[in-house]
Structure 1
Amino acid sequence: MQRVSCKILAVSVILFGISLFYLTRKQMSSSDAVVSQDYDYIHISHKDMTWKSDDDDVSEVQQNDDYYGVMFDAGSTGSRVHVFHFQETPQGIPPILISEVFNFTNLPLAQYADNPSEGAASLKVLLNVALQSIPSSHWSTTPVALKATAGLRLIPEKKAKALLDEVYSLFKSSLLHVETPEATVDIMNGTDEGIFMWVTVNFLNGALISSTPETRGTLDMGGGSTQVTFLPQIEETLSHHIHGNYIKTYPFLHHNYKLYTKSFLGLGLKAARLEILKREKENPIFVGSSDIDQLSAGPEEFASTCLPPFTSGTWDFGGNTYSVSSSNLHSENMYANCLSVVKAFIEDTVIVPSEMQESSSFYALSYFWERAAEIKKVDWKKGGMMLVKDYREAAINVCFNHTMYADKPFHCMDLVYLSSVLSHGYRFRDDVKLLMTNTIDDFNVSWALGATLELLRTHWENMKKL
């Protein structure tokens, strides 16, 4: 009875804390919420867990050693903050992820390439979210870091450094723990991005806890780049003169995982869309209004065979707004024509180990999941599974029935590109299973968790937990 009472009390405390978070968030001053018009509260995940040892005895989880980590994701389409709450476990056992607070703005840091101080200021509201999510007693021991992805990789190095310097100054003025500039703010390379996503997925699904881990590979489709990461089972992949250059060792607990990980900068959904449009503009392929439209278009205006007839759309990427109109007079051959354009772009740009062709399943994340959820092929909350051939058939269906997606003019183009990456880039068999989700155990699936585990590694090593 006493244990039950304690659990009820613990749950009450948690609910009170969440309620307090809502109240404090609503009481933020307008001067703090510098980007309040683009600010939206998103998600709190909470997990009530105890560790079960291999002999089926329940080990009591220590309650007096909780840790937090704050990770900022400066992406190509916006900035995000993740606040992770961990709890210590017995020696040799991975820490338990108790909760996550996630929030974002639609303001990419790269947008402030010419005004770095404003760029740092755009993160203040997210920094306030982090502080409100952590007990003040833990602020000084909670590390904070920002990792930028493809968005900052695509702007001049000098401007990117100026942005990161301003962000570091912002963090230094906060009450959180700040390491050296190199450890706190950096442009994450694609290799780390792929590894951290793999770690996140396999940490959340329990594969990294098992003494005989059965891990899953990950395909992460971002806006500016895309990554593939998996644990090779064939010696040829590990020793190949080309593929061997992409083998990286990642230590976790008592394992050293030799991962194949490769990042393709410029093959993210938004970056690829822009490059495909540029190629169409330079080399109009199909008969129709294409030649005239392309010749008269401005530097940020395009015409494409991948858009339904008589439609147009605008989209933002890298701080620019692009306008696209259809070059099709009829829709009968839209899928085939779009596929030809997309395949010409992908051809020879994606080279991966043949071992991938023998895989049975991969996690397909980010835009792979998002576009599938938007056309109701997988559930928004629960995710789902699609075969590679299902993804291709979905692209054909959307292109053919484009009137059903009149408010989504780029859906045909995007789905043709995504399905082509799977079939013509990675060369997956039609029966390979794509596991698509945005959450595992109610926690967001993003590379930020893997990066935070790495950020906290030193602490746990000092505590002899890792």
Structure 2
Amino acid sequence: MRRPNARAHHPRGESQEAAATTLAPPPPPPRPTISSAMGSRRARGRRLLAALLAAAFAVALLLLVPRSPRRRPHEYGVVIDAGSTGSRVHVIAYRSSSSSPASALPRIDWARTASMKAAPGLSSFASDPGGAGRSLAPLLEFARRRVPPESWAETDVRLMATAGLRLLDAAVAEAVLDSCRVLLRGSGFQFQDDWATVISGMLHNESVEFLSFVYSGKVRSHRAEEGMYAWIAANYALGTLGDDSQDTTGIIELGGASVQVTFVTDKPLPPEFSHTLKFGDATYNLYSHSFLQLGQNVAYESLHDMLSKPGHKSMATHLISQAKYRDPCTPRGFSPMEGAVKLPASVLESKVEYRPYAHAVGNFSECRSAALTLLQKGREECRYHECRMGAAFVPDLDGKFLATENFYHTSKFFRLRSKSFLSDLMLAGEKFCRGDWSKIKKEYRSFNEGELLLFCFSSAYIVALLHDTLKVPLDDKRIDVANQIGGVPVDWALGAFIVQKASNQTEYSDSSLLLFWVGSTPLHFRCRSIYSMLHPEGEKISPEDGIRHGERPVHHNQGETMSLARRRWDLVEFLRWGASDRVCKFS
């Protein structure tokens, strides 16, 4: 019997072969040839090169792909533009830029921006300066509701007055401003006394330089500043600032106390009317002038002064009921008792309160002729080869124009087209002027009678101003009538805000800007590829009462939802900070 652990029996030769197979070490690998060694080195080199290229590509991506900046918190600006007929406060929400000067203009958040107007204008408080400050209280309260309380102490408040106060005696105007300063000091916002002023007409050098403006010479008076600010505002809204094509739009602004005319021209100009601005890569040679006493409301009073000669200024302060004069600028049937209208202190001597009765005849042609006489008053003092408005030089109007303020209000009242409106306005004015006052009041019941009374005059005055004086053809389509473009208000204060904020950015501060003004506003971002999205056509009305831009209440996000408005500005911020400045221009 075989033991379990006994060895198996193998033949001798077979046993040796198996042992050799089991115990012999494996044979050494074959020695590499020279060609195989070189191939291995090439493979390692290719892998290293690929790794280096991948790293370089990653670095390039980090450098070229726009990085999202840290979002700066909202700041707030409030401006009171103290105009001749009222003061408008604009509360402006914006973000500052802390990078290069080219991008240091504020980025307005229109969804958080709003405005409100209060009447009357500060100039109406000439006999009661203390009342001027009190009249601003509702505007300040509106600003407090719009600016978060935690931002009040870091928010500047500024008031800028225009032609209405310029027409007052200097001492009276200063007393009115002092009354406003008292209120502003206690507002809770940051304020310095020199932040409440009558607009001086000087474009400050530091503001001009920071905005890449090159300003030739000095602005000699307020007669250029207001118009130039309005021009900046219009071309900001249109997206044409800094465009080498010189495809800009001129501005004709018919305010309550003055008219502004500003546009680019290549014609030689007298030095007092010539101003050179450089914005970005573009240089603009501007004609700019502000015509005092020729704004719609002041011109209306001046016309009645002229028609009633020997005039109310030579009469006693009491009403002389027997005195009458022919009034072609008022519709027939207007009651003589309604003609005893109190006149603004900015126009008349303080002791004179009333004019004599007018006999309303409602004749458009006669009213237009009288308005033309008023516009040409003082021409005998002309020192230039041609004076179209008084003694001031005005060259031929070049290019496209935007007609704002009372041009817009009158055109809207008559429901006219925005372009080539002059011929239609003349027909509408003729019909309105010859209408019966009692029927007019019934047809336009929603209008204040004092405002309604002006439309016969305003229609004739606009035709006399644009066609008879500035030589604009009645069928000219170069002039567009509007107060807003894509929801952006076209207001001189918009241009002033751009200059002010750009100046502030030279030394960055986390403070907010609350500007009390009658007008307000923004910076300009221009990118051809997204311009239509940033400035969509049309306007949406906000249901909030008392918040207005121009004539209509406007919510600045165009009626979009807040989330969409934010997404739109996120896109703007992405483009501003990215490499897309090759396609976009910032101004």
Deviation string 1:14-68 (CA, Å, 9 cap, x unpaired) is xxxxxxxxxxxxxxxxxxxxxxxxxxxxxxxxxxxxxxxxxxx988575215332
> Who is 2:237 aligned against?
204
Aligned amino acid, residue 438 of structure 1? N
The equivalent position to 2:293 in structure 1, one of 263, 266, 272, is: 266
User: Relative to 1, partners in 2 of residues 1:309 and 1:387: Cα closer, same or farther, differing over 3 Å?
Assistant: closer
The equivalent position to 2:416 in structure 1, one of 377, 396, 400, is: 377
Aligned amino acid, residue 222 of structure 1? G
Q: Which moved more, 1:250-259 or 1:199-208?
A: 250-259
The equivalent position to 2:473 in structure 1, one of 429, 439, 448, is: 429
The separation in 2 between residues aligned to 1:300 and 1:374, in whole angstroms, is 33
The separation in 2 between residues aligned to 1:106 and 1:150, in whole angstroms, is 15
> Who is 1:393 aligned against?
427
8 Å Cα contact 1:302/1:323 also seen in 2: no
SS of aligned partner of 1:282: coil
> Who is 2:188 aligned against?
175
8 Å Cα contact 1:277/1:303 also seen in 2: no
The separation in 2 between residues aligned to 1:276 and 1:341, in whole angstroms, is 7
Matches within 5 A, 1:328-407: 334-347=363-376, 348=379, 349-350=389-390, 351-356=392-397, 359-378=398-417, 384-401=418-435, 405-406=440-441
8 Å Cα contact 1:304/1:324 also seen in 2: no
> Who is 2:86 aligned against?
78
Deviation string 1:121-175 (CA, Å, 9 cap, x unpaired) is 2112211211221233433333221111121122211111111122223222223
Report the structure, 1 or 2, having the larger strand content. Answer: 1
> Who is 2:498 aligned against?
453
User: Relative to 1, partners in 2 of residues 1:70 and 1:367: Cα closer, same or farther, differing over 3 Å?
Assistant: same
- Pair 1:195 & 2:228 matched: yes
SS of aligned partner of 2:287: strand
Deviation string 1:389-435 (CA, Å, 9 cap, x unpaired) is 33333333433456664453332222001111001222223324321
Q: Which moved more, 1:222-231 or 1:113-122?
A: 113-122
Q: Which moved more, 1:169-178 or 1:216-225?
A: 169-178
Q: Which has the higher contact order (CA 8 A, sep 6+)?
A: 2
The separation in 2 between residues aligned to 1:410 and 1:185, in whole angstroms, is 30
User: Relative to 1, partners in 2 of residues 1:377 and 1:455: Cα closer, same or farther, differing over 3 Å?
Assistant: same
Aligned amino acid, residue 80 of structure 1? R
Deviation at 1:366, TM superposition (A): 0.4
Percent pairwise identity? 24
- Pair 1:98 & 2:98 matched: no
- Pair 1:414 & 2:458 matched: yes
The separation in 2 between residues aligned to 1:77 and 1:317, in whole angstroms, is 13
Aligned amino acid, residue 440 of structure 1? I
Computing the radius of gyration from Cα coordinates, the structure with the larger value is 2
Aligned amino acid, residue 89 of structure 2? V
Deviation string 1:62-91 (CA, Å, 9 cap, x unpaired) is 521533222111111112111222234564
8 Å Cα contact 2:414/2:425 also seen in 1: no
Give the alignment's TM-score, normalised by structure 1. Answer: 0.73
Deviation string 1:224-251 (CA, Å, 9 cap, x unpaired) is 111111122x142xxx33xx31223445
Deviation at 1:267, TM superposition (A): 0.4
> Who is 1:23 aligned against?
none
The separation in 2 between residues aligned to 1:322 and 1:416, in whole angstroms, is 24
- Pair 1:318 & 2:344 matched: yes
Aligned amino acid, residue 197 of structure 2? V
8 Å Cα contact 2:77/2:155 also seen in 1: yes
The separation in 2 between residues aligned to 1:443 and 1:305, in whole angstroms, is 38
SS of aligned partner of 1:355: coil
Equivalenced residue count is 383
The separation in 1 between residues aligned to 2:496 and 2:463, in whole angstroms, is 29
- Pair 1:276 & 2:303 matched: yes
SS of aligned partner of 2:234: helix
The equivalent position to 2:359 in structure 1, one of 327, 339, 343, is: 327
8 Å Cα contact 1:85/1:98 also seen in 2: yes
The separation in 1 between residues aligned to 2:86 and 2:323, in whole angstroms, is 21
Deviation at 1:187, TM superposition (A): 4.0
8 Å Cα contact 2:326/2:358 also seen in 1: yes
Deviation at 1:323, TM superposition (A): 7.0
Deviation string 1:335-393 (CA, Å, 9 cap, x unpaired) is 2222222222122334443331xx34311100000011011114xxxxx3234433333
Deviation at 1:218, TM superposition (A): 0.7
> Who is 2:488 aligned against?
443
8 Å Cα contact 2:333/2:436 also seen in 1: no
The equivalent position to 2:255 in structure 1, one of 203, 209, 222, is: 222
8 Å Cα contact 2:368/2:463 also seen in 1: no
The separation in 1 between residues aligned to 2:168 and 2:395, in whole angstroms, is 34
Q: Unaligned regions of 5+ residues in structure 1, if any?
A: 1-56, 285-295, 379-383
The RMSD of aligned alpha carbons is: 3.3
User: Relative to 1, partners in 2 of residues 1:373 and 1:128: Cα closer, same or farther, differing over 3 Å?
Assistant: same
> Who is 2:559 aligned against?
none
